[in-house]
Amino acid sequence: MSCSSCLYKRVSMFSLFRGKSSCVNLTKMFYLVGLGLGDVKDITVRGLEIVKKCDKVLLESYTSILTVGKEELEKFYERPLILADRELCESNIDELLKEAKDKHIALLVVGDPLGATTHTDMLLRAKELHVETQIVHNASIMNAVGCCGLQLYNFGETVSIPYWTDNWKPDSFYEKIEANYSRNLHTLCLLDIKVKEPTEESLTKKIRQYMDPKFMSVKEAASQLVQIIENKSDTELSKQSIAVGLSRVGNPDQKIAVKSLEEMEQLDLGPPLHSLVIPAPNLHPVELDYLAQFR
């Protein structure tokens, strides 16, 4: 596909970079680069410069996913990427960090690099090993959730909703939702992601086996919430309470739906990632007006 506006873009982009005299300061370093939430073009200009110039670029693959895969990123960056799983990022991180003493290494992370504890840990470890680090921030669901019209400063503590199993149905996150609700605050619920998780069998038998990746949907989260509510005698929330379902935030095909939790149990919001918001009971008029368009 080609069009005159594309041509214009190519020319202007070229002149943009041709004219610059500043350059990324690349003392040997370990970069944590946020990719934002949408697709390949949601990396920042600074982030892209780093990716282009690093000796080695890894793509973190287990705390979140981008709506596009590794291949599209590689095509856009014109370089190969190495997938970094939990083992590499947690158990084998020292090797990687030590490499960053004489090489420029970047770890690409979906959203903002400091949304997950793993990466803070990594930076601490780097400090111990005297490895220089640099963070390139980007949008994360923690701020992009503002796209549903609920004001960011009216959000309370964020919670994570984990996948239940037959024997393990934790619901401690629910108390936090209730505590926010009673203070008239919204709750952002981050939904569970299982990527390269060892199977139960592999844990007991010491064979390395992994489950298929799965990403909790708004539908599944709503269903778990309804079950919790049904088992509580004294709770302010009900099956009829309003929730906001979001999928693929930041992507052109993002979806936002406002429904009761009960209705949300039947809702298909398409491919991952999904997030759920439980709004405060009393909303600001602008919040109400904004949500109304997603009913």
Q: What residues numbered 182-241 form the site for its own copies, per CB under 8 A?
A: 183, 185, 190
Q: Report 155-174 residues binding its own copies (CB under 8 A).
A: 155-160
Size of the site for its own copies (CB under 8 A): 85
Structure tokens at 19: 């004219």
Rounded CA separation 295/89 (Å): 41
Name which of 153 and 166 has its Cβ closer to its own copies. Answer: 153
The residue from 6, 203, 207, 211 that contacts its own copies (CB under 8 A) is 6
The residue from 1, 27, 71, 172 that contacts its own copies (CB under 8 A) is 1
Q: Report 41-70 residues binding its own copies (CB under 8 A).
A: 41-46, 48-49, 52-53
Cis amide linkage into residue 273, ω under 30° from 0: yes
Half-sphere exposure of 71 (CA within 13 A, CB side): 0
Q: Which residue has the tokens 């005698």?
A: 233
Q: Which residue has the tokens 């970079």?
A: 17
Name which of 15 and 240 has its Cβ closer to its own copies. Answer: 15
Q: How far apart are CB 200 and its own copies at their closest, in Å?
A: 27
Name which of 226 and 290 has its Cβ closer to its own copies. Answer: 290
**49-67 per-residue burial string, b: 16 or more CB within 10 A, e: under 16:** bbbeebebbbbbbbbbbbb
Q: Report 129-158 residues binding its own copies (CB under 8 A).
A: 135, 137-140, 142-144, 146-147, 149, 151-158
Query: Applying CB under 8 A, does 30 fall inside the site for its own copies?
Result: no
Rounded CA separation 139/133 (Å): 20
Name which of 203 and 286 has its Cβ closer to its own copies. Answer: 286
50 vs 103, 114, 127, 250, CA distance in Å? Answer: 12, 18, 20, 22
Q: Report 66-85 residues binding its own copies (CB under 8 A).
A: 76-78
Overall size of the chain counted in residues: 295
Structure tokens at 250: 């930041």
Q: How far apart are CB 265 and its own copies at their closest, in Å?
A: 25
